[in-house]
Structure 1
């Protein structure tokens, strides 16, 4: 969800709305709850004071959010539960932590019911996450896009009640902020929160967009918004494309790979054509002995397929070397380069299919060999 609550200073018609939300607007939308699920969120760094002897305090990344975050993003729980809307309302001192953090501070993957001190405050662990690493981290692209997920999740209202530190991008406007909580306060003219809503279909999305437009107009009438109504509602893929999460050089590499494949296919057609026509005498003899054109055609295609299979095996070795080279790059997405079983199977299928397709013309030319002419020439 995007809005444009900033002042007129620096405004240019046609500009994109703010990428994040103010606390005032986020909490207003959260209260009205017009979607099936909705979640406000932000990140923050916290200090952990472990109970186990020998462990010194350390810092971790946390996610402040609301109760719908877990069902909306299908976050898996290994033990315990996520907090409820009532916990949000009560500003409960509860947290959900990762399995790795539970093992680190409690010595077990089931830390449910234990107490965890964060920034000097004791929190009850009510849930432990199973492995969960969305790639990229679409729900918050203001920080690390491809890293691990946060290690602690707590109610957003609790984080504000304790005035815990936040991290990420923040955009403020205007020369004065009278909110006692500073730039993260409820009335602060700053965008620093991400707001997601779950909607069942396109019709519901259109209704919600109109709701956002009406809300924006109401805020402008009340004097909060100054700019013309400018809202945006993006699904995950549209948001990733808008934020250019897939780097341009990756797309360039993909098109270069397809171009290289096309060149290889053209060369394969020429080589197979020369190979089969060089055996015209052999094919003529087989035809004279009773081999059908269909049999000649099938044999040539099988040979092309075997060549493709061998090429696929060799290509896997090259791909492994290429992936290793990609992982050596300093980019934050480099470590994600890998070859999964689906891609492995696709490589073989594509190699064989491409070779068979490249062998169609040479095989067709080979089966057209006239046995009488070949026998006469010999």
Structure 2
């Protein structure tokens, strides 16, 4: 019976091609605009590392004295001071932890084939790669000894390796960063990162860094941060050493805590550390406070998905509603025009339920075709978003969930719009039209 209903629906489309085309186009435009905004929102709010997002925690310490405030909702700084990051790194309390910051260099080779360019770099510790699930194409990370000695080594991305070395194994090669040479010890595979969750300071949707280097080089090379550096009190820091010893916050710190026991133990350690620092004249507060937030909590805390994004999705669904209102009018006109045919079918024994289902199948078929065309329109819209806003380039895409959702939403909304016209036409009194035939 369902196949028969599909056949009747197709015949109906061919009898009224213009009206059918207008309805399909209205659905397609509504779905296209809705799926464009919904796809971007979906990618923004998606878990960036679902396999271990509940095990990675951003560490925050309330370093300010009583009476000082911060711009966060709970009045806790987003980053750590350099001295706190160093102390937490040296503590034997965890197997995996990273301190890091973003900086950059002029990148070039001892060759005239590659023009110098500016590359962004992440100063971090060796655990960064295993904690955030980066895998290596060639080589590996630097050793603990190289970290401790501030060795001039670097890990580069696959994309940078293709640009500098034409994709060959570059481990052992030298690249020049500003005025110094660094040895390549590893090449990481392409990292499909939509949200830069590990460092949200300068934009959640910025590209990941091209270079990864030992954290200890910050002090050895006196590297400046390309991220945010903030202070809560006036301090005189004429030298770089003064900055390292100051209360300025500019270092990101993450810890991997695989069990509740590990998390509780680390919380106890952080409290003990703050109490120790308080005895040394820091953290002048009545109540010591720290925060551990996992990846998704950290993204929510930093408002990665803003209210504007949610409003945009709501407006796109409202536009879809306007499209459906127009479709409702067209369906009413089309179905009621078919009343004589329905009257004859009723007289021949067709039940109201069969008439109702037949028209719902026709409406669902309309939604399916409109949904497929809507995917094409959405792809064009996403291409426009990606080209207009470079930082949305990785987000302007439709994954499998969105591709399946488009026709599903179209069919569901069309069936909803077609309920009243279908119910109205199935109530047709056959006697009226039999007399007129």
Which deviates more, 338-347 or 123-132? Answer: 338-347
| Displacement of 1:254 | 0.6
Unpaired runs of 5+ residues, structure 1, are none
In structure 1, the partner of 2:334 is 275
- Distance in structure 2 (CA, Å) of the matches to 1:368 and 1:22: 74
Shift of 1:12: 7.8
Q: 1:365 to 1:207 in 2, by over 3 A?
A: farther
Question: Structure 1 pair 239/180, CA: closer, same or farther in 2 (3 Å)?
Answer: closer
Larger relative helix fraction: 2
Counterpart Cα distance in 2 of 1:90 and 1:26:
17
The aligned counterpart of 1:216 is 274
Give unmatched runs, 5+ long, in structure 2. 1-58
Relative to structure 1, the CA distance from residue 264 to residue 104 in structure 2 (aligned partners, 3 Å threshold; closer, same or farther) is: closer
The answer on 1:130 being equivalent to 2:189 is: yes
Worse-superposed segment, 346-355 or 237-246: 237-246
What does residue 416 of structure 2 align with?
Answer: 357
- In terms of mean alpha carbon deviation, does 269-278 or 39-48 score higher? 269-278
For residue 224 of structure 1, report the CA deviation from its aligned partner.
Answer: 1.6
Q: TM-score, with normalisation over the residues of structure 1?
A: 0.86
Question: Which residue number in structure 1 is paired with residue 227 of structure 2?
Answer: 168
Note the C-alpha offset of 1:4.
1.9
Task: Find the counterpart in structure 2 of residue 243 from structure 1.
Answer: 302
Which residue of 40, 44, 50 corresponds with 2:99? Answer: 40
Within-5 A mapping of 1:13-52 = 16-35=75-94, 37-52=96-111
Which deviates more from structure 2 when the two are superposed, residues 272-281 or residues 318-327?
A: 318-327
The root-mean-square deviation of aligned C-alpha atoms, in Å, is 3.0
1:181 corresponds to which of 241, 246, 257: 241
- TM-score norm. by structure 2 comes to 0.75
Deviation, 1:197, is 1.4
Q: Residue 123 of structure 2 corresponds to which residue in structure 1?
A: 64
Paired position in structure 2 for 1:73: 132
How far does residue 96 in structure 1 lie from its aligned partner after superposition? 0.7
1:328-343 aligned within 5 A? 329=388, 331=389, 333-336=391-394, 338-342=396-400, 343=402
The answer to whether residue 252 in structure 2 is matched with residue 194 in structure 1 is: yes
2:284: which partner in 1? 226
* Helix, strand or coil at the partner of 2:64: coil
For 1:257 and 1:243, locate their aligned partners in 2 and report how far apart those are by CA, in whole Å.
Answer: 25
Matches of 2:163 and 2:390, distance apart in 1: 25
Q: For 2:195, what is the secondary structure of its paired residue?
A: coil
Q: How far is 1:127 from its partner?
A: 0.9
Query: How far did residue 100 of structure 1 move?
Result: 2.7
Q: How many residues align?
A: 375
| Deviations, residues 36-56 of structure 1 (Å, cap 9, x unaligned) | 521110111123341234445
Structure 1 residue 313: Cα displacement? 4.2
After the TM superposition, which of the residue ranges 156-165 and 267-276 deviates more from structure 2? 267-276
Question: What's the CA shift string for 1:104-151, capped at 9, x where partnerless?
Answer: 333434211212233433322111121124222111122343232211
Are the equivalent residues in 1 in contact too, given 2:367–2:411 (CA < 8 A)?
yes
Give, in whole Å, the separation in 1 of the partners of 2:90 and 2:78.
21
Using the TM superposition, give the Cα deviation of residue 21 of structure 1 relative to its aligned residue in structure 2, in angstroms. Answer: 0.4
* Residue aligned with 2:289, SS: coil
Partner of 2:177: 118
Q: Call closer, same or farther: CA 1:218–1:292 in 2, change over 3 Å.
A: same
Asked whether the 8 Å contact 1:52–1:106 carries over to 2, the reply is no
Residue 73 (structure 1) shift: 0.8
Classify 1:292/1:201 alpha carbon distance in 2 versus 1 (closer, same or farther; 3 Å). farther
Deviation, 1:297, is 2.7
CA contact (8 A) 1:4 1:18 kept: yes
In the TM superposition, 1:286-325 aligns within 5 A as: 286-316=345-375, 318-320=377-379, 322-325=381-384
Q: Given that residues 3 and 232 in structure 1 are in contact (C-alpha distance below 8 angstroms), is that contact kept between their aligned partners in structure 2?
A: yes
How far apart are the structure 1 equivalents of 2:131 and 2:109? 31
Q: 1:7 to 1:317 in 2, by over 3 A?
A: same
